[in-house]
Every structure is written in structure tokens, then in C-alpha cells.
Amino acid sequence: MTELVVLASMGTISAWNELAPAFTRLTGHKLIVTQESAATLEQTLASNAAADLLVLYTEPMNGVIGQGKVLEGASTIFARAAVGLSVKSGAPWPDISTPEAFKRTLLAAKSICYSFGGSGSVAARAIEKLGIAEQLTPKTIRSEGGPAAGYVARGEAEMAIQQVNVSKPIPGTDYVGDLPADLHEYVVFPIAIMAVSKEQEAARALIRFVTSPQAAPLLKKGMMEPAAS
């Protein structure tokens, strides 16, 4: 049995919970998926630690490709995740059905939390489009080391904006819904083969699997979507 080490960001762990066992059943290859924060991933890449595949959202993946840490031409977009708003369980659900309603909701909120990652970039761009970035700055919290919805669950923020698959599993919070259409963007995730991988054939098999029709229902079970949805 071949073992493949996959370095993955928090944003895709829900999908790997479904994809990894299915891939093992299909091929006999075992996946060791490690959740990497931005800080630990930077250290891992700098040390050239043994790993076979890397999964990140688009912007940092482009940076890693530029450093020559992954095989040339071996990066493939395979999944995406919606971004939306969460509140504390039991709290009234605010109106986020239109950009104007979402704007009123954010302005009325006591505090808002979003990350430094892909969903945080989506949140920041949405707020910029609404023209309220300056007004929200004093009551904005940026999450580090865990889901933004966790801040809501602990009472450290009133609302959180993050990926649906990261937010929904957090106990004590409710996912109200995706950002309104004119403001919504998906966080897109490529998967790439590491230059240091010694199991490139098996790594390519994994990429074929996660981009195949077989993977689509597994991604959806993990609250994500195939990239081509």
C-alpha cells in the first residue's frame, strides 16, 4: 500500500473526510491528510518536508508554484466553497437577501469576524463594494488559528463570514446563508503535486479521482462543490 501525504488548508478538510476513505477503498492507497495553518505550512514548505500533494486556495497556491515547490503543470483546480454569514444559535437571523439588506445587517452588527484566508478576502471585497469598509473597521475581528464562527460560538463576535463548510460544523452557531449574489464569490481550491514527492504516480491517481464524476457527491457531502459546478 502506498501512503500519500496531503498538506491541506482548513478550507478543504470537510471534503477530505469524505474523499480520503473513498480513494483508499478504490485504489488501496492510504492518504495522510494534515491540516496546515498558514504559519505551519510556511515552515513545512521551507524545510522541504516529505509530502506528496498540496491543497490551498488559489492565491497562496500561485505563490508556492512561483517558488518551484510543486511540479510544473501539476496543479489542478478541483473544488470550491460558498461563503456566507453565521450567527449564534438562537439569535434572530438577519436579512442578507440583497446587497442593501446585507449592508444594513453589517452596519447594525456590534462585531463581525472573518479570516485572513480566502473567505476573508471574499468578505473584505464584499464590504469594499458596499462602501462601508471604514465604518466596519472598528468592529471587525480577524480570526486566526480557527474558524471565524468559533468566535461567534464563544461570544467574541456577533457575526462571522466564512466558507459554509468551515462554518456549519461549529456547535452553537447557525449558518444564515451565502452572501447575496452580487457580492458572493466562491473560494477556489487547486491541488498540486509536490516537487519532493516520491509517489508521483499515486499522486496523479488522486488528482484524477478528486476531479472525476465519482468525487462530486463526496465533495457535496463535505459541503463543497466540484470546481466546474
pLDDT tens, the chain, 229 aa long: 799 999 998 899 999 999 999 999 999 999 999 987 766 777 777 777 789 999 999 888 888 888 888 988 889 999 999 999 999 999 999 999 999 999 999 999 999 999 999 999 999 999 999 999 999 999 999 998 899 999 999 999 999 999 999 999 999 999 999 999 899 999 999 999 999 999 999 999 999 999 999 999 999 999 999 987 5
How many domains does the chain contain in total?
Answer: 2
Residues 88 and 169 in one domain: yes
With 0.85 as the threshold, say if the pTM is over it. Answer: yes
In a domain, 123, yes or no: yes
Residues 169 and 103 in one domain: yes
Q: Give yes or no for a contact between 65 and 75, defined as CB atoms under 8 angstroms apart.
A: yes
- In the numeric block, the cell 466562491 is attached to 186
In a domain, 183, yes or no: no
Give the CA dihedral 126, 127, 131, 136, nearest 10 degrees. Answer: 180
Report the CATH number at residue 145: 3.40.190.10
Q: Give yes or no for a contact between 101 and 126, defined as CB atoms under 8 angstroms apart.
A: no
Q: How far is CA 87 from the centre of its chain?
A: 19
Residues 161 and 221 in one domain: no
Residues 74 and 144 in one domain: no
Residues 127 and 168 in one domain: yes
Q: Which domain holds residue 206?
A: 3-80+188-226
Residues 20 and 66 in one domain: yes
Residues 39 and 94 in one domain: no
In a domain, 89, yes or no: yes
